[in-house]
Structure formats: structure tokens, C-alpha cells
Amino acid sequence: MWNSISSRNMGTLLVVCVMLLLGRSRGSFNLTSLTFTQSYSPLFSDFNIIRSHDDTTVSLLLNRLSGNLTYTATIKMPSKYTAGIVVAFYTSNVDTFEKNHDELDIEFLGNVQGQPWRFQTNVYGNGSVSRGREERYRLWFDPTKDPHRYSILWTPKHIIFYVDEIPIRNVVRQAGMRGDYPSKAMSVYATIWDASSWATNGGKKKVDYKYEPFVARLGDLVLEGCIVDPVDQLQSTNCTDRVAALMAKDYSTITADARKSMRWFRQRYMYYSYCYDNLRYPVPPPECILVPSERDMLTNAGRVRFSGSRRRRDRRSKPASHQPAAR
């Protein structure tokens, strides 16, 4: 179904193919920008590649805000030794709302050679950084072999994270979430960064630059939604139709079959969910729907420890917030 989205020519639809690359030498970055500029100049004005001052982050961002969106791309992860590396695919408005930002994350965590990549999803609303909503998973394929599609759908009713065509997490908005449910327009980002302090084995395995450059290949990037002016936060057009169209998409509804796939995924590949973490949340947050089979599985697998603060990959490269980091 995602193929059909990207082949249709819609107003806000962007299809680009970019390569993100993390390496410390000047040469590597030079290569990135050349590749990007040469190949994707028609869309260059929409995207920026931003490199942090300490050389540990390379980001791609679409410099427009969107409220109600689908953000999707294919990504092929760097291979070989990738401990400490995080490839993040996310939406955020931290640049506009430093104290009460919203954010939706898919973060891929590298590993030592021979060990699989893992990934986590997270949801923040109105600065709820002290109430992380992390879930962690394994993948059922090797993400370094081929590009796979990763997607975030965000509407006023629910948030769905997809891997390929499988919904892996569905957050249905509950009144009890209040501001914790993202409600302000966000920008979209894709980033590769050095998260040596926490990403792999609780930070015991660091990035080894002997293996640079680390290349994550992004393709088939699509953003659908209602574009909002970044300065005055006003919707630039009447978005009623656009939002209605988004809500009417087949991927905006989880069908019975999709629900089955989601259950299949979660029961086999999820290894941490905040909903079942009684130590952290004696009362599960309001959106949690507890599934006995998931609980049994996660109880057997043990608890993932959370602590510390995570280095942010803010585009201005300053620490923007502190949030619990999954270890």
C-alpha cells in the first residue's frame, strides 16, 4: 500500500532519495553534501542537512511544520560494527517549543558485529519528557540487507507506527493523556548520530570510528499532511480536506488483518513496553491497553532499565531536554 502512496502525485507529497552518513573526517561530510546536492537538487530547498558542532550528528530535516501527518521513508541501516550508532526517524517541534515540545520517535540502535539492530518508539506531548512512553523491539529481518519502509502516522485520534505494512504500535488518544498527546505542528527529521553513552549494552559498547563512515540510506521519503507556517503556526491552507483525506487512507485505520499482524509482531518482537513496567508506572498511563500474552512475555524477559539523560540531536546542537533513555 505504501508504494501506491508514493507514486501518486499529491500536493504535499515529496519523494526524494537521500543518504545520511556519519563520519568524523571532513571528507565524509563533503561526500554527503555532494551526493545530496547533485542528486536531489529539485528538492534541495525543502531539506537541509545539518551537522552538529561536535561532528557526532548528521541530520536531515524538512523545514516545514505539519499538523496531522504521515511521514514515511525506506531506510537501509549501516552494516558491520554499528555499536553506539542511532538512526533516528522522527517528528518534533522542539525548536519552536523548547519547554513543551511534542515528539514522535522511531530510533534504531546499532550493535556490535554479528548482533542484530534493535529499535524503539516513543511519544512525547507538551514537554512530557519525564513520562517516557518507550517500547523496544527486535526486527524480523536484517535491516542492513535491504531498505525497509518505516512510517509514522499522526492524527488527532491516534498515532500509528509502521514497519513495512505492519502496524507495530497504535496509540489511541485518551482524554486522560491530556497534553501528553502531541497536538502542535511538528517538523520531520532523519538523523544518524553517535549515542555511545546509551545505545548499545547500556553504553558499554561505543562507536568505533575505525568503521566509519556509517551510512544510512534513506529513500522514497514521503510527507503527507497539512502544512503549517513555521513562524506564526497558522495553517497555510484550509486543511480540512487534506486532513479528511489523510484520515480516510487505508493505513489510517487498522483492519482486522492488520491487527492480527500487529499482535504477531508485538508478541514475538517486543521486549520492553512502558505499559508493563510496574516499577516505573505503578498505574499504567491511560492509553495503555494491557494484553495478557504481552504481559507474560515481557515479565519473562525481565525489565529494561531506564536512567540517565539522553543527548539530544537538536538541529542547533544544544541540549534541548532531558529524558529517560532506554538502556
Ligand X SMILES: *[C@@H]1O[C@H](CO)[C@@H](O)[C@H](O)[C@H]1NC(C)=O
Contact set with ligand X (CB under 6 A): 26, 30, 67-68, 100, 126, 156, 178-179, 183-185, 226, 238-241, 243
Q: Would you say 181 and 67 are in contact if contact means Cβ atoms under 8 Å apart?
A: no
Q: Would you say 119 and 130 are in contact if contact means Cβ atoms under 8 Å apart?
A: no
Smallest separation (angstroms) from ligand X to the CB of 182: 8
When CB distances to ligand X are compared, the closest residue is 67
For ligand X, give the closer residue by CB, 84 or 127.
Answer: 127
Q: Which three cell numbers stand for residue 101?
A: 515540545
Pairwise CA distance, residues 6 & 218, whole Å: 14
CA angle 257, 262, 265 (to 5 degrees): 130
For ligand X, give the closer residue by CB, 30 or 267.
Answer: 30
Q: How far is CA 256 from CA 31, 262, 288, in A?
A: 46, 10, 20
Smallest separation (angstroms) from ligand X to the CB of 100: 4
Catalytic residue among 107, 134, 224, 287: 107
For ligand X, give the closer residue by CB, 184 or 327.
Answer: 184
**Residue 294 catalytic?**
no
Q: Residue 255: helix, strand or coil by DSSP?
A: coil
Smallest separation (angstroms) from ligand X to the CB of 320: 15
Q: How far is CA 14 from CA 48, 167, 317, in A?
A: 14, 22, 26
308: left (phi over 0), alpha (psi -120 to 50) or beta: left
Catalytic residue among 98, 103, 134, 135: 103
DSSP code for 197: T
Smallest separation (angstroms) from ligand X to the CB of 24: 13
Give the DSSP per-residue string, 200-219.
TGGGTSPP-GGGPPEEEEEE
Smallest separation (angstroms) from ligand X to the CB of 98: 11
For ligand X, give the closer residue by CB, 99 or 145.
Answer: 99
Burial of 203 (0-12, 13-18, 19+ CB in 10 A): middle
Smallest separation (angstroms) from ligand X to the CB of 311: 23
For ligand X, give the closer residue by CB, 68 or 187.
Answer: 68
**Residue 98 catalytic?**
no
CB atoms within 10 A of CB 148: 16
For ligand X, give the closer residue by CB, 241 or 296.
Answer: 241
Show which residues are catalytic: 103, 107
